[in-house]
Amino acid sequence: MTRAVLTLNAGSSSLKVALFPAQGDRSLATGQADAIGPEGTLKLKGPFGQPLEAAPGDLGSHGGAMRTVIDSLRVEYPDLALLSVGHRVVHGGDAFAAPVTVTPDILTTLEKLSPFAPLHQPHNLAGIRAATEAYPGVPQVACFDTAFHRSHPWVNDAFALPRALYDEGVRRYGFHGLSYDYVSGELARTAPHLAAGRLVVAHLGNGASMCAIQNGRSIASTMGFSALDGLPMGTRSGQVDPGVLLYLMDQKGMTAAQISDLLYRQSGLLGLSGLSNDMRTLEAAGTPEATQAIDYFVFRCQREVGAMAAALGGIDALVFCGGIGENSRMIRARICERLGWMGIEIDHALNAANGPVISSDLARTTVMVLPTNEELVIARAARAAVGISERTAA
Protein backbone atom coordinates (compact mmCIF):
# COMPACT_ATOMS: atom_id res chain seq x y z
CA MET A 1 0.00 0.00 0.00
CA THR A 2 1.29 3.48 -0.94
CA ARG A 3 0.47 5.67 2.04
CA ALA A 4 0.78 9.30 1.00
CA VAL A 5 -0.27 12.90 1.56
CA LEU A 6 -1.41 15.29 -1.14
CA THR A 7 -0.57 19.00 -1.27
CA LEU A 8 -2.74 21.49 -3.14
CA ASN A 9 -2.24 25.09 -4.18
CA ALA A 10 -5.47 26.28 -5.76
CA GLY A 11 -5.54 29.43 -7.89
CA SER A 12 -8.34 31.09 -9.80
CA SER A 13 -7.98 28.75 -12.79
CA SER A 14 -5.18 26.43 -11.76
CA LEU A 15 -4.43 23.65 -9.32
CA LYS A 16 -0.85 22.82 -8.37
CA VAL A 17 -0.45 19.41 -6.77
CA ALA A 18 2.24 17.22 -5.24
CA LEU A 19 2.03 13.72 -3.81
CA PHE A 20 4.46 12.84 -1.02
CA PRO A 21 4.99 9.48 0.69
CA ALA A 22 4.25 9.10 4.38
CA GLN A 23 8.00 9.07 4.86
CA GLY A 24 10.74 10.88 2.95
CA ASP A 25 11.15 14.22 1.22
CA ARG A 26 11.12 13.17 -2.45
CA SER A 27 7.71 13.64 -4.03
CA LEU A 28 6.07 10.69 -5.74
CA ALA A 29 4.46 12.97 -8.32
CA THR A 30 3.90 16.64 -9.09
CA GLY A 31 1.57 18.32 -11.49
CA GLN A 32 -0.53 21.27 -12.45
CA ALA A 33 -3.97 21.72 -13.93
CA ASP A 34 -4.17 24.96 -15.91
CA ALA A 35 -7.03 26.90 -17.52
CA ILE A 36 -9.56 24.95 -15.44
CA GLY A 37 -12.77 25.08 -17.46
CA PRO A 38 -13.67 23.99 -21.00
CA GLU A 39 -10.04 24.26 -22.16
CA GLY A 40 -8.44 22.78 -19.05
CA THR A 41 -5.14 20.90 -19.25
CA LEU A 42 -3.29 18.64 -16.80
CA LYS A 43 0.41 17.79 -16.77
CA LEU A 44 1.93 15.33 -14.29
CA LYS A 45 5.49 14.23 -13.60
CA GLY A 46 6.91 11.32 -11.65
CA PRO A 47 9.58 11.36 -8.91
CA PHE A 48 12.42 11.74 -11.42
CA GLY A 49 10.71 14.27 -13.66
CA GLN A 50 9.39 11.71 -16.13
CA PRO A 51 5.99 12.57 -17.63
CA LEU A 52 2.99 10.66 -16.30
CA GLU A 53 -0.09 10.06 -18.40
CA ALA A 54 -3.14 11.98 -17.23
CA ALA A 55 -6.33 9.97 -16.93
CA PRO A 56 -9.37 11.18 -18.87
CA GLY A 57 -11.58 13.31 -16.67
CA ASP A 58 -13.40 16.54 -16.01
CA LEU A 59 -11.16 19.62 -15.87
CA GLY A 60 -14.11 22.00 -15.90
CA SER A 61 -13.99 22.70 -12.16
CA HIS A 62 -11.54 22.50 -9.26
CA GLY A 63 -13.39 19.49 -7.88
CA GLY A 64 -13.30 17.73 -11.23
CA ALA A 65 -9.63 18.56 -11.68
CA MET A 66 -8.88 17.16 -8.25
CA ARG A 67 -10.65 13.90 -8.98
CA THR A 68 -8.85 13.67 -12.33
CA VAL A 69 -5.52 14.16 -10.58
CA ILE A 70 -6.23 11.36 -8.12
CA ASP A 71 -7.50 9.06 -10.88
CA SER A 72 -4.25 9.72 -12.75
CA LEU A 73 -2.13 9.06 -9.66
CA ARG A 74 -3.98 5.81 -8.98
CA VAL A 75 -2.91 4.55 -12.42
CA GLU A 76 0.71 5.03 -11.31
CA TYR A 77 0.05 3.97 -7.70
CA PRO A 78 -2.91 1.53 -7.77
CA ASP A 79 -2.69 0.91 -4.01
CA LEU A 80 -2.70 4.63 -3.10
CA ALA A 81 -4.03 5.36 0.40
CA LEU A 82 -4.48 9.10 0.92
CA LEU A 83 -3.80 10.01 4.57
CA SER A 84 -4.42 13.78 4.47
CA VAL A 85 -4.52 16.77 2.16
CA GLY A 86 -2.48 19.90 2.83
CA HIS A 87 -3.54 23.25 1.37
CA ARG A 88 -1.73 26.50 0.83
CA VAL A 89 -3.93 29.27 2.23
CA VAL A 90 -2.61 32.77 1.62
CA HIS A 91 -4.20 34.53 4.59
CA GLY A 92 -4.54 33.30 8.16
CA GLY A 93 -4.97 36.73 9.74
CA ASP A 94 -3.65 37.16 13.26
CA ALA A 95 -5.48 34.09 14.55
CA PHE A 96 -3.36 31.34 12.98
CA ALA A 97 0.35 31.04 13.65
CA ALA A 98 0.60 27.37 12.66
CA PRO A 99 -1.13 24.88 10.34
CA VAL A 100 -4.58 23.69 11.42
CA THR A 101 -6.90 20.84 10.53
CA VAL A 102 -9.88 22.51 8.92
CA THR A 103 -13.27 22.34 10.63
CA PRO A 104 -16.48 24.08 9.52
CA ASP A 105 -15.86 26.81 12.11
CA ILE A 106 -12.28 27.37 10.90
CA LEU A 107 -13.48 27.51 7.30
CA THR A 108 -15.99 30.20 8.30
CA THR A 109 -13.21 32.19 9.99
CA LEU A 110 -11.01 31.92 6.90
CA GLU A 111 -13.88 33.05 4.67
CA LYS A 112 -14.07 36.28 6.69
CA LEU A 113 -10.46 36.99 5.64
CA SER A 114 -11.29 36.91 1.92
CA PRO A 115 -11.54 40.75 1.70
CA PHE A 116 -7.91 40.90 2.90
CA ALA A 117 -6.74 38.70 -0.03
CA PRO A 118 -9.55 38.83 -2.60
CA LEU A 119 -7.56 37.39 -5.49
CA HIS A 120 -6.17 34.43 -3.54
CA GLN A 121 -8.23 33.43 -0.51
CA PRO A 122 -11.51 32.46 -2.25
CA HIS A 123 -9.69 30.06 -4.56
CA ASN A 124 -7.65 28.55 -1.72
CA LEU A 125 -10.87 27.87 0.19
CA ALA A 126 -12.56 26.50 -2.93
CA GLY A 127 -9.74 23.96 -3.09
CA ILE A 128 -10.44 22.90 0.50
CA ARG A 129 -14.15 22.49 -0.21
CA ALA A 130 -13.48 20.50 -3.38
CA ALA A 131 -11.04 18.19 -1.58
CA THR A 132 -13.46 17.72 1.32
CA GLU A 133 -16.20 16.75 -1.11
CA ALA A 134 -13.94 14.46 -3.10
CA TYR A 135 -12.40 12.75 -0.05
CA PRO A 136 -14.82 12.85 2.89
CA GLY A 137 -13.19 11.84 6.14
CA VAL A 138 -9.66 12.65 4.96
CA PRO A 139 -8.18 15.46 7.13
CA GLN A 140 -7.79 18.77 5.30
CA VAL A 141 -4.88 20.85 6.66
CA ALA A 142 -4.57 24.59 6.04
CA CYS A 143 -1.02 26.00 5.88
CA PHE A 144 -0.79 29.78 5.93
CA ASP A 145 1.54 32.13 4.06
CA THR A 146 1.06 34.63 6.89
CA ALA A 147 1.76 32.31 9.84
CA PHE A 148 5.57 32.55 9.74
CA HIS A 149 5.36 36.31 10.28
CA ARG A 150 3.25 36.31 13.43
CA SER A 151 6.41 36.81 15.49
CA HIS A 152 6.86 40.38 14.19
CA PRO A 153 7.37 43.13 16.75
CA TRP A 154 4.39 45.51 16.92
CA VAL A 155 6.32 48.31 15.18
CA ASN A 156 6.76 46.09 12.13
CA ASP A 157 3.07 45.17 12.02
CA ALA A 158 1.42 48.55 12.54
CA PHE A 159 0.53 51.37 10.15
CA ALA A 160 0.39 54.93 11.44
CA LEU A 161 -3.40 54.93 11.18
CA PRO A 162 -6.02 55.26 13.93
CA ARG A 163 -5.62 52.35 16.31
CA ALA A 164 -9.21 51.21 15.78
CA LEU A 165 -8.24 50.15 12.26
CA TYR A 166 -5.35 48.08 13.61
CA ASP A 167 -7.75 46.41 16.02
CA GLU A 168 -10.01 45.60 13.04
CA GLY A 169 -7.12 43.87 11.26
CA VAL A 170 -5.61 46.64 9.16
CA ARG A 171 -1.97 45.76 9.84
CA ARG A 172 1.05 44.22 8.15
CA TYR A 173 0.83 40.46 7.80
CA GLY A 174 3.64 39.44 5.45
CA PHE A 175 3.37 36.60 2.93
CA HIS A 176 5.50 33.88 1.28
CA GLY A 177 5.77 32.42 4.78
CA LEU A 178 5.83 28.81 3.57
CA SER A 179 8.91 29.58 1.50
CA TYR A 180 10.65 31.37 4.37
CA ASP A 181 9.76 28.51 6.71
CA TYR A 182 11.44 26.04 4.37
CA VAL A 183 14.57 28.15 3.86
CA SER A 184 15.08 28.84 7.55
CA GLY A 185 14.54 25.16 8.34
CA GLU A 186 17.05 24.03 5.72
CA LEU A 187 19.64 26.47 7.03
CA ALA A 188 19.05 25.22 10.57
CA ARG A 189 19.86 21.75 9.26
CA THR A 190 22.79 22.56 6.95
CA ALA A 191 24.28 25.81 8.31
CA PRO A 192 23.13 26.22 11.93
CA HIS A 193 25.63 29.00 12.60
CA LEU A 194 23.92 31.09 9.92
CA ALA A 195 20.40 30.07 10.92
CA ALA A 196 21.08 31.33 14.43
CA GLY A 197 22.13 34.73 13.09
CA ARG A 198 20.62 37.55 11.06
CA LEU A 199 19.30 36.51 7.65
CA VAL A 200 17.75 38.45 4.81
CA VAL A 201 15.95 35.99 2.55
CA ALA A 202 14.95 37.24 -0.92
CA HIS A 203 12.08 35.26 -2.43
CA LEU A 204 12.23 36.59 -5.99
CA GLY A 205 9.82 35.28 -8.58
CA ASN A 206 6.61 36.32 -10.27
CA GLY A 207 5.65 37.18 -6.71
CA ALA A 208 8.55 38.77 -4.83
CA SER A 209 9.31 39.72 -1.25
CA MET A 210 12.07 39.76 1.34
CA CYS A 211 12.07 38.70 4.95
CA ALA A 212 14.34 39.60 7.88
CA ILE A 213 14.86 36.48 10.02
CA GLN A 214 16.70 36.32 13.33
CA ASN A 215 17.35 32.96 14.98
CA GLY A 216 14.62 31.40 12.87
CA ARG A 217 11.97 34.04 13.62
CA SER A 218 10.52 36.56 11.19
CA ILE A 219 11.28 40.12 12.30
CA ALA A 220 10.09 42.10 9.27
CA SER A 221 8.80 41.56 5.73
CA THR A 222 8.55 43.76 2.66
CA MET A 223 4.97 42.63 2.11
CA GLY A 224 2.37 44.15 4.37
CA PHE A 225 -1.42 44.23 4.55
CA SER A 226 -1.65 42.58 1.14
CA ALA A 227 0.54 40.70 -1.31
CA LEU A 228 0.89 43.94 -3.28
CA ASP A 229 3.34 45.76 -1.03
CA GLY A 230 7.12 46.00 -1.20
CA LEU A 231 9.07 44.79 -4.22
CA PRO A 232 7.85 45.08 -7.82
CA MET A 233 6.69 41.71 -9.13
CA GLY A 234 5.72 40.13 -12.42
CA THR A 235 2.42 41.97 -12.76
CA ARG A 236 2.03 43.50 -9.27
CA SER A 237 3.15 47.03 -8.49
CA GLY A 238 4.90 46.68 -5.18
CA GLN A 239 5.10 49.78 -3.01
CA VAL A 240 3.02 52.70 -4.26
CA ASP A 241 2.39 56.09 -2.63
CA PRO A 242 -1.27 55.90 -1.46
CA GLY A 243 -1.69 59.40 -2.88
CA VAL A 244 -1.42 57.83 -6.34
CA LEU A 245 -4.49 55.72 -5.60
CA LEU A 246 -6.43 58.78 -4.45
CA TYR A 247 -5.41 60.54 -7.67
CA LEU A 248 -6.58 57.61 -9.79
CA MET A 249 -9.96 57.68 -8.05
CA ASP A 250 -10.47 61.45 -7.95
CA GLN A 251 -8.90 62.55 -11.23
CA LYS A 252 -9.16 59.46 -13.41
CA GLY A 253 -12.50 58.25 -12.10
CA MET A 254 -11.23 54.70 -11.63
CA THR A 255 -13.27 52.30 -9.55
CA ALA A 256 -11.88 50.02 -6.86
CA ALA A 257 -12.16 47.08 -9.26
CA GLN A 258 -10.24 48.95 -11.96
CA ILE A 259 -7.49 49.97 -9.54
CA SER A 260 -7.28 46.40 -8.26
CA ASP A 261 -6.83 45.12 -11.81
CA LEU A 262 -4.20 47.79 -12.46
CA LEU A 263 -2.17 46.97 -9.34
CA TYR A 264 -2.45 43.18 -9.50
CA ARG A 265 -2.43 42.41 -13.23
CA GLN A 266 -1.09 45.33 -15.28
CA SER A 267 1.85 46.65 -13.25
CA GLY A 268 5.24 45.39 -12.09
CA LEU A 269 7.69 44.15 -14.72
CA LEU A 270 4.88 43.86 -17.27
CA GLY A 271 3.71 47.42 -16.78
CA LEU A 272 7.19 48.94 -16.74
CA SER A 273 8.44 47.05 -19.77
CA GLY A 274 5.24 46.99 -21.81
CA LEU A 275 6.47 43.58 -22.88
CA SER A 276 6.41 40.76 -20.36
CA ASN A 277 6.20 39.77 -16.71
CA ASP A 278 8.90 37.12 -17.26
CA MET A 279 12.40 38.17 -16.25
CA ARG A 280 13.93 35.76 -18.79
CA THR A 281 12.11 37.51 -21.61
CA LEU A 282 13.20 40.93 -20.34
CA GLU A 283 16.85 39.88 -19.98
CA ALA A 284 16.85 38.70 -23.60
CA ALA A 285 14.85 41.62 -25.03
CA GLY A 286 17.39 44.43 -24.75
CA THR A 287 14.78 47.15 -25.35
CA PRO A 288 15.11 50.41 -23.38
CA GLU A 289 11.86 49.69 -21.56
CA ALA A 290 12.90 46.15 -20.63
CA THR A 291 16.25 47.48 -19.38
CA GLN A 292 14.50 50.10 -17.27
CA ALA A 293 12.15 47.49 -15.79
CA ILE A 294 15.16 45.37 -14.75
CA ASP A 295 16.95 48.46 -13.38
CA TYR A 296 13.93 49.32 -11.25
CA PHE A 297 13.59 45.76 -9.95
CA VAL A 298 17.28 45.65 -9.00
CA PHE A 299 17.15 49.08 -7.33
CA ARG A 300 14.14 48.17 -5.21
CA CYS A 301 15.77 44.88 -4.20
CA GLN A 302 18.94 46.70 -3.12
CA ARG A 303 16.88 49.20 -1.16
CA GLU A 304 14.87 46.51 0.61
CA VAL A 305 17.95 44.45 1.51
CA GLY A 306 19.16 47.54 3.34
CA ALA A 307 15.80 48.01 5.04
CA MET A 308 15.66 44.39 6.20
CA ALA A 309 19.25 44.55 7.48
CA ALA A 310 18.37 47.71 9.41
CA ALA A 311 15.41 45.92 11.04
CA LEU A 312 17.83 43.20 12.15
CA GLY A 313 20.58 45.56 13.30
CA GLY A 314 22.99 43.96 10.82
CA ILE A 315 23.22 41.05 8.41
CA ASP A 316 25.10 37.74 8.48
CA ALA A 317 23.73 36.17 5.30
CA LEU A 318 21.70 37.03 2.21
CA VAL A 319 19.80 34.07 0.73
CA PHE A 320 18.19 34.04 -2.72
CA CYS A 321 15.27 31.77 -3.55
CA GLY A 322 12.27 31.74 -5.92
CA GLY A 323 12.29 31.45 -9.70
CA ILE A 324 14.38 34.58 -10.33
CA GLY A 325 16.46 34.26 -7.18
CA GLU A 326 17.38 30.66 -7.94
CA ASN A 327 18.02 31.00 -11.67
CA SER A 328 19.07 34.51 -12.71
CA ARG A 329 22.77 34.93 -12.07
CA MET A 330 22.59 38.39 -13.67
CA ILE A 331 19.95 39.67 -11.25
CA ARG A 332 21.80 38.26 -8.24
CA ALA A 333 25.05 39.86 -9.36
CA ARG A 334 23.44 43.22 -10.02
CA ILE A 335 21.66 43.28 -6.66
CA CYS A 336 24.88 42.47 -4.83
CA GLU A 337 27.13 44.88 -6.72
CA ARG A 338 26.05 47.92 -4.66
CA LEU A 339 25.99 46.11 -1.31
CA GLY A 340 29.72 45.94 -0.64
CA TRP A 341 29.26 48.31 2.32
CA MET A 342 27.31 45.45 3.97
CA GLY A 343 30.21 43.04 3.53
CA ILE A 344 28.57 41.46 0.47
CA GLU A 345 30.87 40.35 -2.34
CA ILE A 346 30.08 37.51 -4.72
CA ASP A 347 32.35 35.09 -6.54
CA HIS A 348 31.19 35.28 -10.16
CA ALA A 349 32.18 31.70 -10.96
CA LEU A 350 30.19 30.39 -8.01
CA ASN A 351 27.29 32.66 -8.96
CA ALA A 352 27.34 31.29 -12.51
CA ALA A 353 27.08 27.78 -11.03
CA ASN A 354 24.01 28.84 -8.98
CA GLY A 355 25.64 28.22 -5.62
CA PRO A 356 24.76 27.08 -3.06
CA VAL A 357 27.30 29.58 -1.66
CA ILE A 358 28.10 32.39 -4.10
CA SER A 359 29.98 34.82 -1.85
CA SER A 360 33.73 35.23 -2.18
CA ASP A 361 36.12 33.85 0.41
CA LEU A 362 36.89 37.40 1.60
CA ALA A 363 33.27 38.49 2.03
CA ARG A 364 32.12 39.28 5.57
CA THR A 365 28.52 38.37 4.68
CA THR A 366 27.60 34.97 3.27
CA VAL A 367 25.48 34.99 0.10
CA MET A 368 23.63 31.81 -0.85
CA VAL A 369 21.22 30.38 -3.41
CA LEU A 370 18.78 27.93 -1.83
CA PRO A 371 15.91 26.45 -3.88
CA THR A 372 12.71 26.68 -1.90
CA ASN A 373 10.14 23.91 -1.48
CA GLU A 374 6.79 25.15 -0.21
CA GLU A 375 5.10 21.87 -1.10
CA LEU A 376 7.36 19.95 1.29
CA VAL A 377 6.46 22.34 4.13
CA ILE A 378 2.78 21.67 3.43
CA ALA A 379 3.39 17.91 3.21
CA ARG A 380 5.13 17.89 6.58
CA ALA A 381 2.17 19.69 8.13
CA ALA A 382 -0.24 17.24 6.49
CA ARG A 383 1.76 14.34 7.94
CA ALA A 384 1.83 15.89 11.40
CA ALA A 385 -1.96 16.22 11.33
CA VAL A 386 -2.26 12.43 11.20
CA GLY A 387 0.45 11.79 13.76
CA ILE A 388 3.49 11.29 11.52
CA SER A 389 6.35 13.30 12.95
CA GLU A 390 9.44 14.21 10.94
CA ARG A 391 11.49 12.10 13.32
CA THR A 392 9.27 9.16 12.44
CA ALA A 393 9.47 10.04 8.76
CA ALA A 394 13.25 10.39 8.66
pLDDT band at 394 (very low <50, low <70, confident <90, very high): very low
**212-227, pLDDT tens digit by residue?**
999 999 999 999 999 9
**162-209, pLDDT tens digit by residue?**
999 999 999 999 999 999 999 999 999 999 999 999 999 999 999 999
pLDDT for res 11: 81
Sheet order of strands, 15-21 included: 51-52, 41-45, 29-34, 15-21, 2-10, 80-89, 140-144, 100-101
Which is it for strands 29-34 and 217-221: parallel, antiparallel or unpaired?
Answer: unpaired
Q: Which residues does the annotation mark as catalytic?
A: 145
pLDDT for res 170: 96
Q: What is the pTM of this model?
A: 0.94
pLDDT band at 392 (very low <50, low <70, confident <90, very high): very low
Task: Give the CA angle between residues 175, 239, 217 to the nearest 5°.
Answer: 30
pLDDT at 70 over 90: no
pLDDT band at 74 (very low <50, low <70, confident <90, very high): confident
Query: Average of pLDDT values for 347-368?
Result: 97
Query: Average of pLDDT values for 353-357?
Result: 96
Would you list the DSSP string of 237-261? --S--HHHHHHHHHTT---HHHHHH
pLDDT for res 176: 96
pLDDT for res 391: 55
Q: Which uninterrupted H or E stretch holds 70?
A: helix 62-76
pLDDT for res 389: 77
pLDDT band at 63 (very low <50, low <70, confident <90, very high): confident
Which is it for strands 317-321 and 366-369: parallel, antiparallel or unpaired?
Answer: parallel
Are the C-beta atoms of residues 31 and 45 closer than 8 Å to each other? yes
Query: Average of pLDDT values for 140-163?
Result: 97
**37-62, pLDDT tens digit by residue?**
898 999 999 999 999 998 888 899 88
pLDDT band at 130 (very low <50, low <70, confident <90, very high): confident
pLDDT for res 393: 44
**14-24, pLDDT tens digit by residue?**
889 999 999 99
- Complete domains list, the chain, with CATH: 2-144 (3.30.420.40), 193-369 (3.30.420.40)
Contacts of 293 (CB under 8 A, 6+ apart): 269, 272, 273, 275, 282
pLDDT for res 71: 87
Average pLDDT, the chain: 94
Range with lowest mean pLDDT among 72-81, 138-147, 240-249, 302-311: 72-81
**CA 8 to each of CA 15, 83, 301, 383: distance values in angstroms, whole numbers, following the listed order:** 7, 14, 30, 14
Is pLDDT larger for residue 227 or for residue 66?
227
Q: What's the one-letter identity of residue 307?
A: A
Are the C-beta atoms of residues 210 and 308 closer than 8 Å to each other? yes
